[in-house]
Amino acid sequence: MSNMETNPIIEAKNLGIKYKISRFKRSSVMNLMKTVATRNSLKSNGEFWGLRNLNFEVQKGDILGVLGKNGSGKSTLLRTIAGIYLPDEGEMNVNGTVSSMLTLSSGFKEDLTGVENIFLIGVVTGFTEKEIKAKFAEIVEFSELEDFIYQPVKSYSSGMKARLGFSIAISLKRDIMLVDEILGVGDFKFREKSRKKMIELIKSDITVVLVSHNSETIKEYSNKCIWIHEGELKAAGETDEMMKLYLDS
């Protein structure tokens, strides 16, 4: 990685995130974690490291692709950048505001209209009413929902929901944008349109962290990559060379 520039916008130093396995919990999240745990270093006292000894830097304007299998720690990494998890070991320094695309379709309230959901998701992700109003027309236009925007979200098709989610995320953005498997939504025409929008975004000075198990997506958008395997950094570098490594493995 080129470390010529000063002050990386995201910097992980020896980062470690630890999960505890408690006897009392039975949620599906726990079951998911357990399957992750079996592949990670499961300790006898019911702890395992979701991420460990992770070191990397992201410069402003970079599009960082995060490669790795399901359960390798990609989502844990995004949550740590978003400030949802605090490091149990090492540091995670983020010098900017973060918006995340993770919320999208799961964040909708089905009984509320598209308009109401735009405002709800906006304020939940930390924007003020005023900021959302300023972006409102842009969101509605990009989503192509037209009059459907005044209908309850439960009447939407999954494609429409995804379009609305993408439009909100692309309009309400911060210095750093976290993207988790959300690209390639909607029909062919909308995919093309959102692809163009993403490329526009990449050319701006926004920093993007992109997670996908689809290596094609990462190849298309990101200039730098890190590869996480079982919670640890396997390799880091320019996308082209990382792609070769990843696909050969």
| Residues making contact with other proteins (CB under 8 A) | 19-20, 22, 24-27, 29, 79, 82-86, 100, 102-103, 106-107, 109, 111-112, 116, 119-120, 123-126, 128-129
Question: Which CB sits closer to other proteins, 83 or 159?
Answer: 83
Tokens for 21? 């396995």
Question: Which CB sits closer to other proteins, 5 or 129?
Answer: 129
Question: Which CB sits closer to other proteins, 94 or 206?
Answer: 94
Query: Among 167, 100, 96, which residue's Cα sits nearest to residue 137?
Result: 167
- In whole angstroms, the minimum distance from the beta carbon of 86 to other proteins comes to 5
What three-state secondary structure class fits 87?
coil
- In whole angstroms, the minimum distance from the beta carbon of 130 to other proteins comes to 9
In sequence order, the 6+-apart residues with CB closer than 8 A to the CB of 247 are: 215
Question: Which CB sits closer to other proteins, 123 or 247?
Answer: 123
Burial 169-205 (b: 16+ CB within 10 A, else e): bbbbbbbbbbbbebbebbeeebeebbeeebeebbeee
With beta carbons less than 8 A apart as the criterion, state whether 163 and 145 touch: yes
- In whole angstroms, the minimum distance from the beta carbon of 116 to other proteins comes to 7
- In whole angstroms, the minimum distance from the beta carbon of 123 to other proteins comes to 5
In sequence order, the 6+-apart residues with CB closer than 8 A to the CB of 154 are: 110, 111
- In whole angstroms, the minimum distance from the beta carbon of 237 to other proteins comes to 29
Question: Which CB sits closer to other proteins, 118 or 242?
Answer: 118
